[in-house]
Structure 1
Amino acid sequence: MLTTKITSLMTSNSNIQKIRKILHFSRDEYESRLKNIRLKMQEENLDLLLLSDPCNIYYATGYDAWSFYVPQCALISASNDEPVWIGREMDRHGACLTSILSDNNIVAYDDKYVQSQIYHPMSVMASEIRERYGNNIHIGIEMDSYYIDIQAYLKLQTELPNCKVSDASLLVNWVRAVKSPTEIGYMHEAATLVQNAMQSAIDLIQPNVRECDVAATAYSDLVSSNPDFAGSYTSTPPLIPAGERLNTPHLSWNSSRYQNETQINLELMACRNRYHMPLGRSVYLGTPPANLQTIESAIVEGLDAALDFIKPGVMACEVEATWQKAAAKYNVQKSARCGYALGIAYPPTCGEKTISLRPDDKTILEEGMTFHLMPAIWHEGNSLVITEPFAVTKSGAETFCNFPRKLFVK
């Protein structure tokens, strides 16, 4: 793990306190990220970028806290000025602690703006924009974001009537697509945690064991199964459907006890410094039916074929087609996408919202891109989950996990 400790000063209640910043990346890496973001801004003729997605705020500044349930943003100008963070007063200290920003670029709004019918935090943000950058500029905002609503957008337009506002929803997401060695290192650490959790869950599953106890065991290992580093909260909880909920990929556990001749699908996800690592496997208690063994062969052969095919220069749609061709030998098809770009995540999703492994995506894969290859099947009576996260390397694909690709039978 790369940890940079920097001493800065902040004033709180007239007392000077020393704040030791703990950053997960070097200052040079943050500067490189900001340079790449600004190059994209120049292509769109943007004077200012208003980021509301916590993934992108974290990527650009290092700020990391569970504060995205209230309006917050990072402002990035087209010049080389340091970004500005604006958020709730009680989160100011967190921004001082976890971000690269100097104190005068950390702005907090009063609690009267929180969930108020009278005041809106966007008024504070608009005021800062006017004072720092002017009232006649071109602003890009993330319109396709879980974290900015219609009211905030309308308020921004009202407060800054002379500014041009454009959609810059995935500008930073695309910059994030190619990972640095440090980012990939954190993803490898997350892979260690998710494999530990998967093994513990599989070991525990047997008749008469409660589903919730398996979930609890998985949660524990996702956070603390390695003595050298810790996991954090993930964007998605463990998804462990079984029985009548088996064919529903987004349902999870309850207090039921497993029975013989039951299948359990496990989709687990670990997080290390906000970098996520998912892994999916299925377990069958008893003797699996023949059709399930056929699907297992289709998924595994498809995974092997796709991973062998992947290298820089191929298109995302070609990866999907390679899997479909291998699976078709077993008369198995998957209608949904079979993978997506992977990296930084906060609730509610771990996908980067950029590249999908599906027929219409012609994105060319590059070294350093990371994906979750998940040709899982959720057909009625024919459900099976075997997935592989991977990174694109100079010569091919490197899987993050080393976990048997099979249906586990107990």
Structure 2
Amino acid sequence: MIISIEKSEREQRLSRVRSLIKEKGYKAILFVADSYLGKKGSLRYLFDNHLIHRYGYGIVLEEGQFQILPSGLHWCTDRRVPDTLFPKDHEILKVVRIFRKNNIDSGIVGVIGLNNTMKIEDYKYLSQELPNIQWVDASVAFEEIRSIKSETEIAGVKEANRIIEAGFDRIIEHIRPGMTEEEAVSVAYETVHALGAKDTLFLTLSSEEKGAVEPIFLNPRPRIIKDNDYLIVSLEITGPSGHWVEHSRMFCFGNRDEEMERLARLVARGIDYAEKTMKPGVKVTDVQAELERMAADAGTVCGHLTGHGIGMDVIERPFVARQTGTSFIGVEVPGEEDEQLLYLKEGMVISFHPQIMNPDMKKSAYMSDVFVITENGAERLSKRNHEVILIKGR
């Protein structure tokens, strides 16, 4: 079980970040993290700290690095982290003191999470106390670094995938009509956490109409599963190494609906296309375009983001989506800064999850798998097929 990274792995990650400092001409890089599920992976990547609540900062200089956490986290943090500071006053004051001590009072500082994570009051204080520094968002540049996983990271991803599939196996054994959605997935929580999972995000899609699924992702509900219902179950977890994986399949609880089965076959076809197509050098927007063409030819439409990188945050770049001209960092589509992340590379890990639905939005299908991009193509980590799982009645 990969619980913490070896010193050599951590040094390699820090080396990549310092190379980015030199390449961009930064004086330093400031990392901003929040315990929200999509905004804390940078601290795990750099300091091997699984941030369980609140927020934190990390600073990487040409020489030296620091993690700065709120003083209260002294009593509630990961003891493996060797270079963590707990200032008694406030974290952002300590950040300023470190910059001044290292004579960084002008030039450019790259900030990971500036535009979608940093608190406004902290940014205002930095700007006030260090007015000659230009603070620029370096999130996309950092995504280029962490999009390529090391052998150690890929081993962590595969370990997490084994855990999530064990949880899904328990759902298949357990789930029956007459249960609530909450009851049906409860066994997966127990299973994955017993095997070392840390964070979990479980979602379901269903409908009050028999033989249908609305394309809306929600937490499992106290809604009772009925005979002839369809249900989509999506599990997302971090394994012991801090890497996220996703796994989703569809269930039928009685008579199969012809249209739902057709939509499911389209999703399966899309995943099969990805498995055969996603190789180093392939453009992710081309993959998205082909999925949209498949959907249109079948008289259907693509819904949710078709795929994305996955790692120590549940959604990372690259985005398998249609390119837009947006300059906003936090949206889940390729933007103006994503040019270098439009092409698949060896070592990327992609969560691929087509969502296909009828134009009236009454029926939809969705499944997900995790792929590792190798020099020879895409390695699908799950061996589970994509047929709708039939569960007999009570």
Normalising by the smaller structure, the TM-score range is 0.7 to 0.9
**CA-atom RMSD, angstroms?**
2.2
State the distance in 1 between where 2:44 and 2:105 align: 27
Hey, what does 2:8 align to over in structure 1?
A: 28
The 10-residue stretch of structure 1 (253-262 or 272-281) with the greater mean CA deviation from structure 2: 253-262
C-alpha distance after superposition, 1:112-166 (max 9, x if no partner): x5xxxxxx53223212221234323421213455531222111110111222222
Residues 330, 164 of structure 1: alpha-carbon distance in 2 compared, 3 angstrom cutoff: closer
Q: Percent identity?
A: 19
Hey, what does 1:99 align to over in structure 2?
A: 81
Hey, what does 1:284 align to over in structure 2?
A: 252
Aligned with residue 244 of structure 1, among 199, 208, 211: 208
C-alpha distance after superposition, 1:162-192 (max 9, x if no partner): 2222221233222100001111111111111
Given the alignment of the two structures, is residue 310 of structure 1 paired with residue 278 of structure 2, yes or no?
Answer: yes
C-alpha distance after superposition, 1:266-310 (max 9, x if no partner): 010121121011011111112122111111221112211221112
Aligned with residue 398 of structure 1, among 379, 387, 390: 379
Is the 8 Å Cα contact of residues 115 and 137 (structure 2) preserved in structure 1?
A: no
Aligned with residue 160 of structure 1, among 122, 130, 136: 130
Number of equivalences: 363
How far off its partner does 1:107 sit? Answer: 2.0
Given the alignment of the two structures, is residue 359 of structure 1 paired with residue 359 of structure 2, yes or no?
Answer: no
**Secondary structure of the structure 2 residue equivalent to 1:170:** helix
Is the 8 Å Cα contact of residues 112 and 142 (structure 2) preserved in structure 1?
A: no
What TM-score, normalized to structure 1?
0.82
How far off its partner does 1:341 sit? Answer: 0.5
Aligned with residue 374 of structure 1, among 339, 353, 363: 353
The 10-residue stretch of structure 1 (36-45 or 266-275) with the greater mean CA deviation from structure 2: 36-45
Aligned with residue 200 of structure 1, among 170, 180, 194: 170
Is the 8 Å Cα contact of residues 240 and 253 (structure 1) preserved in structure 2?
A: yes
Structure 2 gap segments, 5+ residues each: 34-39, 324-333
State the distance in 2 between where 1:94 and 1:74 align: 17
Structure 1 gap segments, 5+ residues each: 4-23, 114-119
State the distance in 2 between where 1:297 and 1:107 align: 53
Hey, what does 2:57 align to over in structure 1?
A: 73
Hey, what does 1:232 align to over in structure 2?
A: 198
Residues 219, 378 of structure 1: alpha-carbon distance in 2 compared, 3 angstrom cutoff: farther
Is the 8 Å Cα contact of residues 200 and 217 (structure 1) preserved in structure 2?
A: yes
State the distance in 1 between where 2:236 and 2:304 align: 20
How far off its partner does 1:97 sit? Answer: 2.3
State the distance in 2 between where 1:252 and 1:242 align: 11
**Aligned residue type for 1:292:** M
Is the 8 Å Cα contact of residues 312 and 394 (structure 1) preserved in structure 2?
A: yes
Residues 176, 309 of structure 1: alpha-carbon distance in 2 compared, 3 angstrom cutoff: same
Hey, what does 1:299 align to over in structure 2?
A: 267
Runs in 1 of length 4+ with deviation above 6 angstroms? 93-96
What are the equivalent positions in structure 2 for 1:69-218 lying under 5 Å apart? 69-70=54-55, 72-77=56-61, 79=62, 81-92=63-74, 97-101=79-83, 106-110=84-88, 113=89, 121-144=91-114, 146-218=116-188
State the distance in 2 between where 1:146 and 1:95 align: 23
C-alpha distance after superposition, 1:310-361 (max 9, x if no partner): 211111122223434444553333154310111112xxxx101x21112325
State the distance in 2 between where 1:328 and 1:100 align: 53
State the distance in 1 between where 2:183 and 2:106 align: 58
State the distance in 2 between where 1:258 and 1:204 align: 13
State the distance in 2 between where 1:289 and 1:166 align: 52
Is the 8 Å Cα contact of residues 281 and 385 (structure 1) preserved in structure 2?
A: yes
Residues 145, 387 of structure 1: alpha-carbon distance in 2 compared, 3 angstrom cutoff: same
Residues 333, 96 of structure 1: alpha-carbon distance in 2 compared, 3 angstrom cutoff: closer
How far off its partner does 1:26 sit? Answer: 2.0
C-alpha distance after superposition, 1:66-95 (max 9, x if no partner): 14x24x211111x2x221111122434766
Report 1 or 2 for greater relative contact order, CA contacts < 8 Å, sequence distance ≥ 6.
2
Hey, what does 1:253 align to over in structure 2?
A: 220
Residues 65, 359 of structure 1: alpha-carbon distance in 2 compared, 3 angstrom cutoff: closer
State the distance in 2 between where 1:108 and 1:95 align: 11
State the distance in 2 between where 1:324 and 1:375 align: 10
How far off its partner does 1:378 sit? Answer: 5.0
**Secondary structure of the structure 2 residue equivalent to 1:174:** helix
Hey, what does 2:301 align to over in structure 1?
A: 333
